Amino acid sequence: MEYRIEHDSMGEVRVPANKYWGAQTQRSLENFKIGEGKMPKEIINAFGILKLAAAKANATLVPNRMTGEKLDVIEKSANELLCGALDGNFPLVVYQTGSGTQSNMNVNEVLANRGNEIAGKKLLHPNDDINMSQSSNDTFPTAMHIAAVMTIYKRLYTPLSHLIGEFRRLERENEGVIKSGRTHLQDATPISFSQEISGWRASIERDYEMIDASLEPLKNLALGATAVGTGLNAPDGFDVAVAKEIASITGVNFRTENNKFHALTSKGEIVFCHGALKALASDLLKIANDIRWLASGPRLGLGEITIPENEPGSSIMPGKVNPTQCEAITMVAVQVMGNDTAIGIAASQGNFELNVFMPVIINNFLESVNLLADAITSFTDNCVSGIKANRDKMKENLNNSLMLVTALSPHIGYENAAKVVHLAHEKGLTLKEATLCLGYLSGEEFDKYFKPEEMV
């Protein structure tokens, strides 16, 4: 491999000749060989957005330093980053400095070196030009917020809408199909299958609403705080101007955070938003468990619905088919819950003017979003869309349910109704047989009051 010599404030470093990064990136690459997870691409793209926005704001506020020539070259190199042309130049791992300084410098060095190549001369310096009016301490939390918001918009909302739409279709198809309800895994009073599905659908809709609401605080940006929140070395108005540029580039109403000291120290907005993602994971786990319980069998379980048979389920038991999509999405839900714990603990760390657990926070956050997006798509397409009600089995189970006796309680009293249930269960009688045996109602009266289809 061929190398070139780069330098930083600590001296010279050998860097692969075919890469655009510089000395600080190379030092981090050599000093942090921890795990295989690289800084997420969403963060790198967010850095590309904010570096372009910062250059534009600086060109307006300090044109003597950010000249038109420099802006033009930075804009070209930043757009190359955003379209993926510079992929392969961002090798740093997640477990690095807790401020994300090395990834900030990675982007600064790549944009400067690629910009100089475009310009055909030494025009840009990674610190003086690409990082002008910034600090790693305000750029990394800004990149976190941009990446979090944009990834949810681009990755999660479409799968959620698709799942909600499939539940709505299933509701319509199963209107008026009556089945036994269940609480505590025990028989309960009747419910229509469409009502049961509506509970699933409404849960996902509410999660969507909560996630959407949680994005608003994330649209406040730290950029302009520089090192400790005072805005040192940033021109007056830079924070407002750069937020407007970011909003213009992304089409999202990002704005500057009024209290920059909060912006550098607290990660509460990320915790809040991931809490909404955890709520979604909790509901998905519950719904997937409902579906696999209802589909259990095919002969010895509940068997009230069928789900698609996508692949063989056993290497030893021929013909066995398992609820694999339910299993996959519940595993994702558990991972999201684990990520939430890590994010919450990490957000509580750091001292005085800076949180120093930012890379692990955003890595876990983005993993949750991407896992949920993929899992929901797979679950919807390969399981939910193929759910079919086994109406005969639902009717059979409904008619065998002792909890239908609840319809008789207003007429014979709670305690007498309980006696009917116990007698029917102990002697293997129907509810009507037990009621007549105990003399609580005539056959005609029983038929008048006992109408399961009216209990929903």
Catalytic residues: 184, 314
Place of tokens 């491999």: 1
Q: What share of the chain is helix, strand, coil (3-state, %, to 5)?
A: 60, 10, 30
The CA distances from residue 127 to 113, 136, 292, 308, in Å, are: 12, 11, 56, 56
376: which 2 tokens? 């929901």
The CA distances from residue 447 to 36, 134, 436, 450, in Å, are: 69, 79, 11, 5
- Maximum distance among all Cα pairs of the chain, rounded to whole angstroms: 102
Question: Residues near 211 by Cβ (< 8 Å), separated by ≥ 6?
Answer: 152, 156, 273, 276, 277, 280
SS3 of 344-372: the string is HHHHCCCECCECCCHHHHHHHHHHHHHHH
CB-CB contact of 191 with 177 (8 Å): no
CB atoms within 10 A of CB 11: 8
290: which 2 tokens? 């409902």
Question: Residues near 53 by Cβ (< 8 Å), separated by ≥ 6?
Answer: 242, 245, 246, 248, 249
Report the alpha-carbon distance of residue 403 to residue 434 in Å, rounded: 13
H or E stretch at 395: helix 391-400
Report the alpha-carbon distance of residue 304 to residue 295 in Å, rounded: 6
Q: How far is CA 27 from the centre of its chain?
A: 33
Question: Residues near 400 by Cβ (< 8 Å), separated by ≥ 6?
Answer: none
Taken as a whole, the chain contains a residue count of: 456
Helix axis angle, 431-438 to 414-427, nearest 10°: 120
What DSSP designation does 154 have?
A: I
Residue from 55, 57, 101, 99 nearest 81 by CA: 55
Report the alpha-carbon distance of residue 106 to residue 112 in Å, rounded: 10
Place of tokens 């918009």: 153
Strand pairing report for 3-8 and 11-16? antiparallel
